[in-house]
Structure 1
Amino acid sequence: MQNIKDTYQRITDAIIEQLEAGTKPWIRPWRGNSRGSLIPRRATGEAYRGINVLMLWLASELAGYEESTWITYRQAQDLGGQVRKNEKGALVVKYGTFTPKAREDDDERSIPYLKGYTVFNVEQIENLPERFYRPAEEMQATTIPLLETVETFVRKTGAAVTYGGTMACFRPAVDDILMPDRARFASEVHLYSTLLHEISHWSGAKTRLDRDLSGRFGSESYAIEELVAELSASFLCADLGVAHDPRDNTATHLESWLKVLKNDKRAIVTAAAKAQAAADFLNGLQSLEQSKVA
């Protein structure tokens, strides 16, 4: 097994490299050949989660892949496929805990592990079953009600959202979200990216996921919460099939995120896990709303 510290460092180094180049690796170009969710998936169709989503988005962007399915070398062989010669795989991780066999004088305790392994995009593999290679006509962009999709999603969370003024923010004291007038946004993409960012902050309130929302601008806790909210918004946008382009304060946030990531190699993995929890929580409210109607 690869050393856990080395795996954390490889992930962090990859993210830092892109941030220093002025690119946020969780911002996808959203090419037009994917239907519905743009979250990377395994051969079984199961969605990757947390830090693995970021790592596979980054790999797709750097290599120009349009497909979102990733599988291991062994899985490709088992399916009758073959990774092309000299193709480079992408790093993903499996993490959890295990309890070692305790000695008589030790208390049992769970030990975390993070194991890195390599996967390949289906575009790097030949001779896979036809289901992995969608016909060209199925890869064309489809017209979907992007605005209605997000409006419905936000409404089902029950969050109080008010438009007006010049700033976007979640106010914990009164538990509401303020958004600028719609006319102030550069585009619908910008508006809905911002709205999903703020509703991700909303998910962290004490009565919900109880994240630390007390950090002031410039503090490490503020930088972490902003990173969690942006990653969560990125996950939600991908799941809803909506482009993600928050725009605001990019240079300031990049600087603060770089500082945090360079000081703590685990920070990006932790932030991604919290962002995934936020996205899961908000998605869970959709089902809750449906069950109330039923």
Structure 2
Amino acid sequence: MATEKFDVQAEVTKSIVAAIEAGCPPWRQPWVGDAGGAMLPLRSNGEAYRGINVLLLWARASEMGYTSAYWFTFKQAQEKGAHVRKGEKSATVVKFGTVEKENEDGDETRLSYARAYRVFNVDQIQGLPTEFYGKPAQLPRDLGTVSIPELDAFFADTGARIVQNPDDARAYYAPATDHINMPLISTFFSAERYYGVLAHEVTHWTGAKTRLDRFSNARTKDVYGFEELVAEIGACMIAAQLGVLPDFEQSSAYVTHWLEAIRGDKRLIFKAATEAQKAVDFVFDCGKESRGEAA
């Protein structure tokens, strides 16, 4: 009897939809546990995951309460002299790549593929070196309303024109004038929330025609809703790399809208994560160029 082909995109979409239905969109709560810090999930060699895999592992960590950033395959754990505890269930991540294939004319054609593979969080593994089990440092829970110079410098290095406007208590990116409007930081409950919102707007800023040209190249029917999804994911990726815990309080109507869109298109979350990763890379590369570092 023929086995049913594993549909990577459908399985990933199902996982994301389940997280949203449970009240925990994975990009809204990037880390849980007693440490409470935001961090990107890491491979066994310390390399950060990217794109859709960040969302998948954030969702699984949130669901299970894992506190380690590291994820190993079964074999990688064995190679370290460790073992996955009996009964532990793996998380799914996706490997993207290309393969050369000869067509009927004898010419080589490059084909793209997506392949699922399984990983385990360090919390599920016994016998690893002690450094993998270290829990993330506590982030301050109340930063007040005072700006953080290092984060101000980071966002300034992007080159984005950011205006704190005492007369306009809205956060938005204005394409016509190519500037970001932010309420005064003193009006935010914490500095973390301010920089989380700013990261969201900076992600929008990357979509301008002179940058990634995301708006004119949009391929979805609901361009606005898709762009908001990209900005939410991108903002959390930026915040995670900066060590800031994002805390967006978008309306339940927005989340419901995105959920319906994701249900209707199993490729949508892949598209959004891909565009968000491009935006994040652009933002960090701007900073490197501003400091004279190699991008």
Is 1:66 aligned to residue 67 of structure 2? yes
In structure 1, how many angstroms separate the alpha carbons of the residues matched to 2:197 and 2:227? Answer: 15
The answer to whether structure 1 residue 265 and structure 2 residue 262 are counterparts is: no
Q: Following the alignment from structure 2 to structure 1, what is the Cα–Cα distance between the partners of residues 160 and 292? A: 18
Q: 2: distance between equivalents of 1:74 and 1:7? A: 22
- Pick closer, same or farther for the CA change 1:176–1:30 going to 2, 3 Å: farther
User: Which 5+ residue runs of structure 2 have no aligned equivalent?
Assistant: none
In 1, Cα distance between equivalents of 2:71 and 2:10: 22
* SS state at 1:39 partner: coil
The answer to whether the Cα contact below 8 Å between 2:36 and 2:138 also exists between their aligned partners in 1 is yes
2:247 to 245, 248, 257: 245
More helix by share: 1
Asked if the contact 1:4–1:114 (Cα under 8 Å) also holds between the matched residues in 2, the reply is no
The match for 1:129 is 129
| TM-score (normalizing by structure 2) | 0.87
SS across alignment from 1:117 = strand
- Matched residue, 1:202: 205
CA distance in 2 between counterparts of 1:62 and 1:178 reads: 35
Paired amino acid for 1:185:
F
* Closer, same or farther: CA 182–133 of 1 in aligned 2, 3 Å: closer
Cα separation, 2, equivalents of 1:3 and 1:189: 46
- By how many angstroms is 1:140 displaced? 4.1
1:73-92 to structure 2, matched below 5 A, reads 73-92=74-93
State the secondary structure of the residue aligned to 2:12. Answer: helix
> Which residue of the other structure, out of 138, 141, 156, is the alignment partner of 2:138?
141
What secondary structure sits across from 2:180 in the alignment? strand
- What's the TM-score, normalizing by structure 1? 0.88
1:227 aligns with 2:224: no
Residue 222 of structure 2 is aligned to residue 189 of structure 1: no
Any stretches of 5+ residues in structure 1 without a counterpart? none
Match of 1:120 in 2: 120
Residues 92/4 of structure 1: CA separation in 2 closer, same or farther (3 Å cut)? farther
Name the Cα RMSD after superposition.
Answer: 2.6
Which residue of 170, 179, 182 corresponds with 1:179? Answer: 182
Partners of 2:130 and 2:197 in 1: CA distance: 39
Cα gap change, 1:3/1:151 in structure 2, threshold over 3 Å: closer, same or farther?
A: farther
Q: 1:214 to 1:7 in 2, by over 3 A?
A: closer
Q: List per-residue Cα deviations over 1:220-263 (Å, max 9, x = no partner).
A: 11111111111000000000000111213x31221221122111
Amino acid at match of 1:90: A
Q: What one-letter code is carried by the residue in structure 1 that aligns with 2:223? A: S
Q: 1:130 to 1:189 in 2, by over 3 A?
A: closer
The percent of aligned pairs where both chains have the same amino acid is 39
User: Hey, what does 2:154 align to over in structure 1?
Assistant: 153
Q: Distance in 1 between matches of 2:19 and 2:78?
A: 32
Aligned mates of 1:133, 1:20 — CA distance in 2: 31
**Counterpart position of 2:110:** 110
The whole-number CA distance in structure 2 between the counterparts of 1:20 and 1:220 is: 21
Matched-pair contact (CA < 8 Å) for 2:158–2:287:
yes
Q: 1:140 to 1:206 in 2, by over 3 A?
A: closer
One-letter amino acid matched to 1:235: M
Q: Distance in 2 between matches of 1:142 and 1:206?
A: 36
Q: Paired residues, what number?
A: 283
Contact 1:70-1:119 at 8 Å conserved across structures: yes
For the Cα contact (< 8 Å) 1:213–1:222, is it kept in 2? no
Contact 2:13 2:269 in 1 (8 A): yes
**CA distance, structure 1, for counterparts of residue 261 and residue 4 of structure 2:** 22
One-letter amino acid of the counterpart of residue 256, structure 2: E
Asked if structure 2 preserves the Cα contact closer than 8 Å seen for 1:22 and 1:254, the reply is: no
Deviations 1:178-217 (A, max 9, x none): 11233443332322111100000001111111101698xx
